[in-house]
Amino acid sequence: MERVRPHLNRRRVLQGAALAAVPYVLLPERPAGAHVPGPDQPSAEWRPAGRSAYTAVAPGTVRPIDRVIIHMTQTAYRKTLFLFEAGRKKVSAHYVVRSSDGHISQCVRESDIAWHAGNWEENERSIGIEHEGWVDEPSYYTDVMYEASAKLTAAICARRGIPMDRAHIIGHHEVPGSDHTDPGPHWDWARYIRLVNAA
Ligand SMILES: [Zn+2]
């Protein structure tokens, strides 16, 4: 933790100073509906989380990743992106998957540490994927969301050398010390692991 943070704070200050010096007219404006590819998952839309919502890892530092952690948002897709972008709640995930059509946003680079597990060691070693929905609303667990998420997890596992099994693809409720219940009893693990391996 300590080896990362001093660098980050300095970087954040530098970024802030640099931004402050740029006239607003020069800031790029993204055309409505444009797909900006995610830095790690090109099929995802890049919707970066605010700088106060994750830990940036120093360039050149390799973060060993051996887990994918599955979440349900407990709020709407758009609100999730808004919360990550605003950064005030100091939460984020690498990816968010939309229930209605399986659309994926990438919010944090895989090399950086998203704050999703509620546990520093787990955040440090994992990629977090949020799924739009509520644990007590089975209608949000759509086929298209499972399929899109499974393809994403398969791609992450391939990139990072993570075994595609239940020991390495876990639920938030399985994080040591977690009091969260997501992805909840309606999440079909057997189906998900099968889809990941078939992707
Ligand atoms: Zn969660």
Over residues 137-147, the mean pLDDT reads 97
Report how far ligand 1's centroid is from the alpha carbon of 144 (Å): 20
Over residues 143-159, the mean pLDDT reads 98
26 in a structural domain: no
Over residues 157-164, the mean pLDDT reads 97
22 in a structural domain: no
Overall domain count for the chain: 1
63 in a structural domain: yes
Q: Active-site positions?
A: 130
Which pLDDT does position 41 carry in this prediction? 97
Report how far ligand 1's centroid is from the alpha carbon of 25 (Å): 38
12 in a structural domain: no
**How far is residue 15's CA from residue 31's CA, in Å, rounded to a whole number?**
24
Over residues 80-103, the mean pLDDT reads 97
The 3-class secondary structure across the chain, one letter per residue, is: CCCCHHHHHHHHHHHHHHHHCCCHHHCCCCCCCCCCECCCCCCCEECCCCCCCEECCCCCCCCCCCEEEEEECCCCHHHHHHHHHHCCCCCCCCEEECCCCCCEEECCCCCCEECCCCCHHHHHHEEEEEECCCCCCHHHCCHHHHHHHHHHHHHHHHHHCCCCCCCCEEEHHHCCCCCCCCCCCCCCHHHHHHHHHHC
Report how far ligand 1's centroid is from the alpha carbon of 180 (Å): 6
| pLDDT of residue 48 exceeding 50 | yes
Report how far ligand 1's centroid is from the alpha carbon of 80 (Å): 12
Report how far ligand 1's centroid is from the alpha carbon of 50 (Å): 19
- Per-residue pLDDT band for 183 (boundaries 50, 70, 90) equals very high
14 in a structural domain: no
Over residues 44-54, the mean pLDDT reads 97
List, as ranges, residues with CB under 5 A of the ion ligand 1: 71, 172, 180, 182
Which pLDDT does position 62 carry in this prediction? 86
Structural domain harbouring 90: 35-198
| pLDDT of residue 105 exceeding 80 | yes
- Per-residue pLDDT band for 3 (boundaries 50, 70, 90) equals very low
| pLDDT of residue 12 exceeding 80 | no
Among 168, 140, 123, 139, residue whose Cα is nearest residue 72? 140
29 in a structural domain: no
Which pLDDT does position 31 carry in this prediction? 60
6 in a structural domain: no
Q: What is the pTM of this model?
A: 0.84
Tokens 């998957």 appear where? 97
**How far is residue 108's CA from residue 26's CA, in Å, rounded to a whole number?**
24
| pLDDT of residue 45 exceeding 80 | yes
| pLDDT of residue 80 exceeding 70 | yes
Report how far ligand 1's centroid is from the alpha carbon of 118 (Å): 8
| pLDDT of residue 1 exceeding 80 | no
Q: Which amino acid is at 54?
A: Y
Report how far ligand 1's centroid is from the alpha carbon of 49 (Å): 16
11 in a structural domain: no
CATH of the domain at 69: 3.40.80.10
| pLDDT of residue 119 exceeding 90 | yes
pLDDT in tens, 14-36: 444 444 454 455 555 556 667 89
Which pLDDT does position 16 carry in this prediction? 45
**How far is residue 101's CA from residue 173's CA, in Å, rounded to a whole number?**
25
